[in-house]
Amino acid sequence: MKSLTKLSQHAHWLLRAAIAGVFIYHGLDKFPKLDGMAAMMNMPVAMLFMVASAETVGGALVLLGGFSKDWITRLGALMLVPVMLGAIFMVHWGQWSFVASETHAMGGMEFQVTLLLASLYLFVKGNNVSSSDPVPVSN
C-alpha cells in the first residue's frame, strides 16, 4: 500500500488527461463543422464557435494547470462547466443512459454528467492534489 500512497499524489494526471483528451478532441472537431452543426442544433455559428473554443481552451488549461498555477486549472475546469450544462439540458436531458435511442439520437446524459462532475471537482480542488494530513478512516 505504500507504493499506492506514493503514487496517489500523481493520480490527478489521470483525471486531467481524460478531461483534456475528451474536450480538446471534441472542441477541435467542431471547428471544421461549425456551419452544419450550428444549423443542426438551431444555434448561431458564433455561439457554437464559443463552445468549441471553451472546450479546446478549457481542456488545454486543465492539462497545463498541472504544470503551472492553481488558477489555470480552476479557470480551465470552470470553462467546461457551462459547456456540459448546455449539452445536458439542450441535447441529452430526459435519458440517463449514454446509448442512443429513438428519442435521443445523440444518447443520454450519463457521460456528460460525469464530465460535468469531474470538471467541478477540478474547479474546486485546483492543484491541491497532495495531502500531508491523513484521511480519517471510520470503522
**At 45, which amino acid appears?**
V
User: Looking at the 3D structure of the chain, how many domains does it have?
Assistant: 1
Q: Name the residue range of residue 68's domain.
A: 9-125
Residues 6 or more apart from 26 whose CB is under 8 A from it? Answer: 55
Grid coordinates in use for 126? Answer: 485546483
- Which stretches of the chain are assigned E, i.e. beta strand? none
Local confidence band at 73 (pLDDT 50, 70, 90 cut-offs): very high
Confirm whether 52 is domain-assigned: yes
Q: Tell me the CA end-to-end span of the chain in Å, nearest whole number.
A: 18
Own/partner long-range contacts of 28-35 (Cβ < 8 Å, ≥24 apart): 28/52, 28/56, 30/55
pLDDT tens profile 8-39: 888 889 999 999 999 999 999 999 999 999 99
Confirm whether 134 is domain-assigned: no
**At 13, which amino acid appears?**
W
Confirm whether 137 is domain-assigned: no
Confirm whether 74 is domain-assigned: yes
pLDDT tens profile 94-120: 765 666 667 666 666 788 889 999 999
Confirm whether 130 is domain-assigned: no
SS3 109: coil
In the Cβ-directed half-sphere of 76, how many Cα atoms lie within 13 Å? 28
